[in-house]
Amino acid sequence: MITSTHEQGTTEWQQARCGVVTASNFKLVLTKGGGKTRKAYMMRLAEEIRTGQPTESYWSDAMRRGTDLEPHARKAYEIETGHDVKEVGITFLDEKRRVGASPDGLINHDGGLEIKCPLISTHTKYLQSGYIPSQYMPQVQGNLWVSGREWWDFASFAPEMPDGERIVIYRAYRDEDYIARLQYEVERFVEELDQIR
């Protein structure tokens, strides 16, 4: 694992991610049947590689909420678990820097953290479900693949909720079968990307 220390959200961080297949978008790579979203993501990365510039991306109110609340969520996680969370910019799978992830935190030598700060209704669903939502499994297992770590915590944070319900934490361990499938699909995606850029 190769780590860049550029703070997430900065121009330097965006530049480091330019043209990189990232864990937050692994779900697009896994789109069944090579759908439109997979193709659109590939074309966006091809443009970034050609121009050397990150593409503009849309920021919804929900995404801004997540960014604004993330430091508070990280602190709540540390209080809840007793873990110290180390912030990093982006981690790369290897020296080629074609595949990467931007963890919300690394913990000790074997763990990591993914933070979500959804609307209360969504947080309540996560609280009641008892497990990591399936739509985040490519990102969580992708972080485990890229980092080589053993476990990853998924934390949902909603400060409006009462004590005891503000943060919900679920842990995922490496699923080697899932990671092998993910690796195969990402490598195939990179090969296709190289043919069109």
**Domain harbouring 48, CATH code:** 3.90.320.10
DSSP 16: H
The pair of three-digit structure tokens given for residue 195, joined into one six-digit string: 């043919």
Inter-residue contact 153 to 107 (CB < 8 Å): yes
Domain count, the chain: 1
CA separation, residue 112 to residues 73, 88, 109, 140, 152 (Å): 14, 11, 9, 9, 5
The CA radius of gyration of the chain, in Å to the nearest whole number, is 17
User: CA 20, CA 16: separation in Å to the nearest integer?
Assistant: 8
Model's pTM, two decimal places? 0.92
CA separation, residue 23 to residues 121, 152, 163, 173 (Å): 25, 13, 32, 16
From first to last of its 197 residues, what are the pLDDT tens digits of the chain? 788 778 888 889 999 999 999 999 999 999 876 689 999 999 999 999 999 999 876 667 777 888 899 999 999 999 999 999 999 999 999 999 999 999 999 999 999 999 999 999 999 999 999 999 999 999 999 999 999 999 999 999 999 999 999 999 999 999 999 999 999 999 999 999 999 86
- End-to-end alpha-carbon separation of the chain, Å? 26
pLDDT at 3: 83
The boundaries of the domain holding residue 166 are 2-196
